[in-house]
Structure 1
Amino acid sequence: MYFNVVEALYIEEYKINLKFENGKTGVVNLAEYILQGEIFQPLQSLENFKNFTVTYGTLTWNNGEIDIAPETLYEKATAEKIIFDEAPQKVATL
């Protein structure tokens, strides 16, 4: 899938610069997820948050116990909405 993450670089706070399989790049701010979601509570510590890896096309933490869908990362980082239908996947620019 073209929206898989292939590279990720920590920027600051809860921001990560992402590069996707299709060559697009963007910065994603994950603060809204990290600071509100119970499952993300361990990542509220910036030291834990910085300890991510790219696994199977997405960001993961804690040996894969915590992840965020690559589709979500793509939409947040590029401001492009992913539209799923029965045809091959398409992207519409917002």
Structure 2
Amino acid sequence: MYLAIKSVEPQNDYKLLLTFENSEKRVFDVSEYLHIGKFAELKDKSIFNSVKVSFDSIEWSNHLDLDPEILYEKSIRVNQQG
């Protein structure tokens, strides 16, 4: 399933709150990747917190990005009230 990301908010403990184009909110845990290559740079909170929406996905100031399909598949849905 391919869903574009509409917003991203960095959270504590290297997690991201993502909102997808279907309005679904999901949490992606980046901490599992911090030992892999360029992801290690995200241990610097200023870089981690620089995350923004870029096209249909997300990107950090160090030019690292992630595929929206991976973000969706590897994230956990947030219970939504309403």
Q: Secondary structure at the match of 2:75?
A: helix
Runs of 4+ in 1 over 6 A off after TM superposition: none
State the distance in 1 between where 2:35 and 2:57 align: 20
1:29 and 2:56 aligned:
no
CA RMSD of aligned residues (A): 1.8
Cα-to-partner distance string for 1:35-88 (whole Å, 9 max, x where unaligned): 22112122111221011110011110126x210111111112247xxxxxxxxx
- Asked whether the equivalents of residues 2 and 22 of structure 1 are also in contact (C-alpha less than 8 Å), the reply is no
- Asked whether the equivalents of residues 4 and 56 of structure 2 are also in contact (C-alpha less than 8 Å), the reply is yes
Asked which structure has the greater RCO (Cα within 8 Å, sep 6+), the reply is 2
Q: TM-score, normalised by structure 2?
A: 0.81
What letter corresponds to residue 3 of structure 2 in structure 1? F
How many residues end up aligned between the 2 structures? 77
Q: TM-score, normalised by structure 1?
A: 0.72
Could you tell me which residue of structure 2 aligns to residue 67 of structure 1?
A: 65
What are the equivalent positions in structure 2 for 1:1-94 lying under 5 Å apart? 2-33=2-33, 35-62=34-61, 65-78=63-76
State the distance in 1 between where 2:51 and 2:24 align: 20
Residue 32 of structure 1, CA deviation:
1.0
Structure 1: 5+ residue runs without aligned partners?
A: 80-94
- Asked whether the equivalents of residues 25 and 77 of structure 1 are also in contact (C-alpha less than 8 Å), the reply is no
Structure 2: 5+ residue runs without aligned partners?
A: 78-82
